[in-house]
Amino acid sequence: MSQDRKKLIAKAKRIVIKIGSAVLTGAGEGLDQKRIEQLAAEISAIMDQKREVIIVSSGAIAAGLAKLGLKKTKGMPLPLKQAAAAVGQSRLMWMYEKTFATHDKKVAQILLTREDLSNRTRFLNARSTLHTLLEHDVIPIINENDTVAVAEIKFGDNDNLSGMVVHLADADLLVILSDIDGLYTSDPRIDSHAQFIPLVEKLTAEVERGAGDAQSLVGTGGMRSKLMAAKKVGAYGVPMLIVNGKKQGMLRSVFEGVEVGTFFLPKAVRNRSRQHWIAYTACTNGGVIVDDGGRDALENKGKSLLPGGIVRIEGTFKAGDCVHCADRSGNIFARGLSKYSSDDLEKIKGLKTSQIEGVLGHKDYDEVIHRDDLVIL
Ligand code: GLU
């Protein structure tokens, strides 16, 4: 399997590198300029090997808090975090700008909210901007637009964001720089018997349980969010690597073929881009509960969802929105784009397609979710 790892890393031409807050800052301290200089040197060397790099960088809130003379505390009010992000983001970019300039590299800032990617048109716009920046040899540096993102439209953490950026950029590899060497069988900070896992071939429930939710003081995501990112990119056929970004020379070692960190092999069959967007990027405001026959038709027979298979509607959504499909026990097994609003579905659930027009006064489609707009999870 280490052959697979070597091959996948060697042929990766477009790489997303996620840099966590704990890598860029000390606990409760501001940005570590020396660390940024080391990383910029290593990243520039990767680019000089004819590879493209996209950075997803955290650190805005931590940098902002330090500048304001504040420490991150549990339950800190959101507006204060948002204000700190505004203070810290410009400082963060200024550091990257001047550091990469010493390597003759240009950088660009992209701030995203969850909504930007879950709206298909905005997703495609962001994608073409990103590709244009890469064509001009610019390093896109992406962060969440923390200043405007409220809970409902947040990515949550930059592990999740970097997983989405892999898809947005059509990248070949995701490297997560963390303040820990990689994945262990349990949390090494509290369990001295924890064993290091260099390779994850498949993300089983056992692997996920072992990961727990080890979290650093300054970052937002823990190990669990990194595994979620691995799942997301793996389904898109992209491998992921977690390495300790606090150790100098890590990135260089990775591309020299040294086996550091934890490598996650991707799935052999990858989702098509649009399906992947439906499954992992679009937001859902609700869903439909389907009967056993409906689930079987979707899961095993490659059929579209018809009103007859629906027993209940959850939440409120418009025609065109992404919804989940769950069975009667609440297990979500698919996601798709609904051709009807939740209001209309309340009226036509359980009915034959021939009855739709009589009830609604119009019938635009036979199916509620067309097969092309559906992904089995
Ligand atoms: N966007 C946050 C920041 O720049 C980081 C979120 C995270 O740590 O995952 O501070």
The CATH number covering residue 71 comes to 3.40.1160.10
Contact 243, 181 (CB under 8 A): yes
What's the CA-to-centroid distance between 154 and ligand 1, angstroms?
Answer: 11
User: Are 233 and 312 in the same domain?
Assistant: no
Would you state the pLDDT for residue 256? 94
> Average pLDDT, stretch 344-353?
94
What's the CA-to-centroid distance between 9 and ligand 1, angstroms?
Answer: 26
Q: Which atom of ligand 1 is nearest to the CA of 225?
A: 9
Is 277 contained in some domain? no
SS3 for 333? strand
Q: Which atom of ligand 1 is nearest to the CA of 61?
A: 10
User: Are 320 and 267 in the same domain?
Assistant: no
User: Are 188 and 319 in the same domain?
Assistant: no
Is 219 contained in some domain? yes
Which region among 92-96, 314-318, 360-364 has the lowest average model confidence (pLDDT)? 360-364
Two tokens at 328?
A: 């009667």
- Give the residue, out of 23, 29, 58, with the most ligand 1 atoms within 8 A of its beta carbon, to mutate for a pocket test: 58
Q: What residues does ligand 1 touch, defined as CB less than 6 Å away?
A: 21, 58-62, 85, 143-144, 146, 157-158, 219-221
Would you state the pLDDT for residue 217? 47
Which region among 5-9, 146-150, 270-274, 328-332 has the lowest average model confidence (pLDDT)? 146-150
Nearest CA to ligand 1 atom 5: 58
Question: DSSP assignment, residue 44?
Answer: H
Q: Which atom of ligand 1 is nearest to the CA of 158?
A: 9
pLDDT at 127 over 90: yes
Nearest C-alpha neighbor of 316 from the set 344, 281, 343, 288? 343
Contact 60, 22 (CB under 8 A): no
User: Are 239 and 289 in the same domain?
Assistant: no
User: Are 87 and 202 in the same domain?
Assistant: yes
Would you state the pLDDT for residue 326? 96
Mean pLDDT of the chain: 91
Nearest CA to ligand 1 atom 2: 58
User: Are 23 and 60 in the same domain?
Assistant: yes
Helices in the chain by DSSP H: which ranges?
A: 2-11, 21-24, 33-47, 60-67, 78-101, 114-118, 120-135, 158-169, 205-211, 223-235, 250-255, 273-276, 292-300, 342-348, 356-360
| % of the chain exceeding 90 in pLDDT | 74
Give residue 1's pLDDT band: very low, low, confident or very high (50, 70, 90): low
User: Are 262 and 317 in the same domain?
Assistant: no
**Lookup result for tokens 């939440």:** 315
The pLDDT tens digits of the residues spanning 243-291 come to: 999 999 999 999 999 999 999 999 988 888 889 999 999 888 899 999 9
User: Are 309 and 343 in the same domain?
Assistant: yes
The pLDDT tens digits of the residues spanning 291-313 come to: 999 999 999 999 999 999 999 99
What's the CA-to-centroid distance between 173 and ligand 1, angstroms?
Answer: 21
Q: Which atom of ligand 1 is nearest to the CA of 57?
A: 4
- Kindly calculate the radius of gyration of the chain based on its CA atoms and give it in whole angstroms: 22
Give residue 364's pLDDT band: very low, low, confident or very high (50, 70, 90): confident
Contact 171, 235 (CB under 8 A): no
What's the CA-to-centroid distance between 54 and ligand 1, angstroms?
Answer: 16
The pLDDT tens digits of the residues spanning 135-189 come to: 999 999 999 999 887 765 577 789 999 999 999 999 999 999 998 899 988 888 8
Which of 212, 244, 272 is a domain's end point? Answer: 272
Nearest C-alpha neighbor of 334 from the set 373, 293, 301? 373
What's the CA-to-centroid distance between 163 and ligand 1, angstroms?
Answer: 14
Contact 311, 290 (CB under 8 A): yes
Two tokens at 327?
A: 């069975």
Is 278 contained in some domain? no
The pLDDT tens digits of the residues spanning 204-225 come to: 888 887 766 555 545 555 788 9
Would you state the pLDDT for residue 192? 87
User: Are 312 and 167 in the same domain?
Assistant: no
Would you state the pLDDT for residue 151? 65
Which of 213, 246, 272 is a domain's end point? Answer: 272
The model's pTM: 0.88
What's the CA-to-centroid distance between 30 and ligand 1, angstroms?
Answer: 14
Which of 272, 300, 316 is a domain's end point? Answer: 272
Q: Which atom of ligand 1 is nearest to the CA of 62?
A: 10
Is 147 contained in some domain? yes
The boundaries of the domain holding residue 161 are 3-272
